[in-house]
């Protein structure tokens, strides 16, 4: 088997995508056969693109893997490859990694679908619900072209280390406290302010000293897909600080903003914490690298049952999900379930600490680059169905995005009768009763 990995020389703007692309590349160290890396960013000249396509064909690949999270970088190279392979010549398998920004680039994916029609192709999604979302834009004949494989997690780095836990808790003066930790962007769709409010209510009657630590950069941007967007830079920080300032001093002292951490610092912070929490309903939440890295250290987690987060619920003793639904009033959550989960992890903290090493090892057996790479072998050895193109739904959505560009495609409220619901109902669970 001969695999060509097509990557971009341009570093992704999102930190999580930098990590994901590198972890995907490392997972291919465990794929059998020869691997060849080809760098193509989409801004090359026509001559450079033709040369790159010719070099790929001359390598006689059995599979061409596109790793870049920006689908727009693929178009010209795919067109050249399409010209080099006559209609009746056996074509290599095309494998595209799908990211959470799939619905941000509908026009690009619609054009790619036309270009690669009649090629054997896989679209690899990092979670079952992301797979369901992508399949909703495909005709029944193409649904089997979508497969689910998790993004790999660098479990050699993110693992349980009790000595490091003791060190960081001492350095950060967390000793004797139960630490709830959120890591990620502090943004509206990440629901950081609702998280703070839910957490304060859930812990108000606890006798144990507890603290909620928020780590990450503030992000005031909202997708151009939404009509209602942030008015100015710093708005979300001001909104959060205004709420915290309104709290009694003893409650305010329970919330700590720790800023942003490097990957090495994150490893220590995850180890030092007692529970990871996130109630995100972000439209790009196809996987969740921050909770995945936390779970890799054996840390228990309380997450919204949304998008890629739902797959982490397969570890019932370690990850607890809070039901989410899109209703006529917008996105709603079962806050009572969140309160129950908070009480449970605090009450059973001794058991969770005893199980951290075992949980970390169990997570690595499923999400390590080695495990994910080995799971790709069967996929790459099999011949996928010939791709027949995307459905009219994607083409319609792409036209809508073009028409409404700059004005917001989705309604400002994410209600059950909206276009938002049509796409993102796939990110929610099936059973939800208030």
Task: State the Cα–Cα distance between residues 309 and 321, nearest whole angstrom.
Answer: 8
For residue 403, being part of any structural domain is answered with no
- Which CATH number does the domain housing residue 129 bear? 3.40.50.2000
Q: Assess whether 95 and 237 both reside in one domain.
A: no
Angstrom distance (rounded) from CA 21 to CA 73: 15
pLDDT in the model for residue 86: 86
Q: Are 323 and 434 in contact (CB under 8 A)?
A: no
- Residue 177 located in a structural domain: yes
What is the extent of the structural domain holding 291?
162-367
Asked if 104 and 222 sit in the same domain, the reply is no
264 and 353 co-located in one domain: yes
pLDDT at 206: 92
Spatial strand order of the sheet with 93-97 comes to 34-39, 2-7, 63-66, 93-97, 121-125, 146-148
Assess whether 173 and 103 both reside in one domain: no
CA distance 160 to 193: 29
Q: What pLDDT tens digit does each residue of the chain (434 aa) get?
A: 899 999 988 877 778 888 999 999 999 999 988 888 888 888 889 999 999 999 999 999 999 999 998 888 888 999 999 999 988 889 999 999 999 989 888 999 999 999 999 999 999 999 999 999 999 999 998 999 999 999 999 999 999 999 999 999 999 999 999 999 999 999 888 999 999 999 999 999 998 999 999 999 988 765 555 655 544 667 889 999 999 999 999 999 999 999 999 989 999 999 999 999 999 998 889 999 999 999 999 999 999 999 999 999 987 679 999 999 888 777 888 889 999 999 999 999 999 999 999 999 999 999 999 999 999 998 888 889 999 999 999 998 888 777 666 555 566 555 555 677 778 889 997 555 55
Q: Are 308 and 385 found together in one domain?
A: no
In whole angstroms, what separates CA 308 from the centre of its chain?
A: 6
Are 378 and 357 in the same domain? no
Judgement on whether residues 272 and 308 belong to the same structural domain of the protein: yes
Same domain, 278 and 378: no
Does residue 105 lie within any of the structural domains?
yes
Two tokens, residue 69 = 């999270």
pLDDT for the residue 408: 59
User: Which residues does 190 contact at the CB level (< 8 Å), separation at least 6?
Assistant: 184, 219, 278, 280, 282
Element housing 302 (H / E): strand 301-304
Q: Are residues 230 and 357 in the same domain?
A: yes
Pair (345, 196) in one structural domain? yes
CA gap 345, 326 in Å, rounded: 27
Same domain, 202 and 345: yes
Number of domains present in the structure of the chain: 2
Closest CA to 59 of 33, 41, 79: 33
Tokens in use for 200? 């304060």
| DSSP SS3 for 144 | helix
Assess if residue 321 is contained within a domain: yes
From the number of C-beta atoms within 10 Å of its C-beta (0-12, 13-18, 19+), residue 223 rates as middle
CB 250 within 8 A of CB 204: no
pLDDT digits (tens, 9 = 90+) for 154-174: 999 999 999 999 999 999 999
């Amino acid at each position: 088997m001969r695999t060509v990995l097509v990557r971009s020389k341009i570093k992704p703007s999102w930190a999580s995508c930098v990590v994901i692309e590198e972890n995907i590349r490392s997972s291919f160290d465990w794929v059998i056969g020869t691997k060849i890396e080809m760098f193509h960013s989409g801004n090359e000249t026509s001559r450079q693109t033709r040369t790159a396509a010719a070099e790929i064909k001359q390598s006689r690949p059995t599979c061409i893997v596109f790793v870049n999270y920006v689908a727009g970088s693929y178009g010209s190279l795919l067109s050249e490859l399409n010209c080099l392979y006559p209609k009746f010549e056996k074509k290599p398998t095309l494998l595209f990694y799908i990211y959470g920004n799939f619905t941000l680039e509908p026009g690009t994916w619609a054009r790619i679908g036309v270009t690669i029609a009649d090629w054997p192709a896989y679209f690899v999604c990092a979670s079952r619900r992301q797979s369901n979302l992508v399949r909703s834009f495909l005709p029944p004949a193409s649904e089997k072209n979508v497969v689910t494989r998790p993004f790999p997690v660098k479990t050699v780095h993110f693992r349980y280390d009790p000595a490091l836990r003791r060190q960081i808790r001492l350095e950060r003066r967390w000793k004797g406290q139960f630490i709830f930790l959120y890591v990620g962007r502090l943004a509206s769709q990440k629901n950081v302010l609702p998280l703070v409010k839910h957490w304060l209510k859930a812990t108000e009657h606890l006798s144990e000293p507890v603290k909620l630590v928020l780590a990450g950069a503030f992000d005031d941007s909202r997708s151009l897909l939404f009509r209602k967007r942030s008015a100015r830079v710093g708005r979300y920080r001001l909104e959060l600080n205004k709420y915290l300032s309104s709290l009694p001093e003893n409650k305010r002292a329970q919330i700590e903003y720790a800023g942003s951490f490097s990957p090495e610092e994150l490893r220590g912070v995850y180890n030092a914490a007692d529970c990871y929490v996130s109630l995100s309903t972000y439209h790009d939440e196809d996987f969740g690298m921050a909770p995945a890295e936390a779970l890799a250290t054996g840390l228990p987690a309380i997450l919204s049952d949304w998008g890629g987060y739902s797959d982490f619920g397969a570890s019932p003793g370690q990850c607890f999900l809070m039901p989410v639904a899109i209703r006529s009033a917008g996105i709603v959550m079962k806050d009572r379930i969140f309160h129950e989960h908070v009480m449970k992890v605090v009450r059973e903290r001794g058991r969770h600490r005893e199980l951290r090493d075992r949980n970390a090892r169990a997570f690595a057996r499923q999400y390590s680059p080695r495990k994910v790479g080995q799971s790709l072998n069967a996929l790459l050895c099999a011949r996928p169905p010939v791709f027949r193109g995307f459905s009219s739904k994607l083409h319609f959505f792409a036209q809508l995005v073009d028409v409404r560009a700059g004005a917001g495609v989705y309604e400002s409220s994410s209600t059950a009768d909206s276009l938002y619901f049509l796409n993102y109902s796939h990110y929610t669970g099936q059973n939800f009763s208030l």
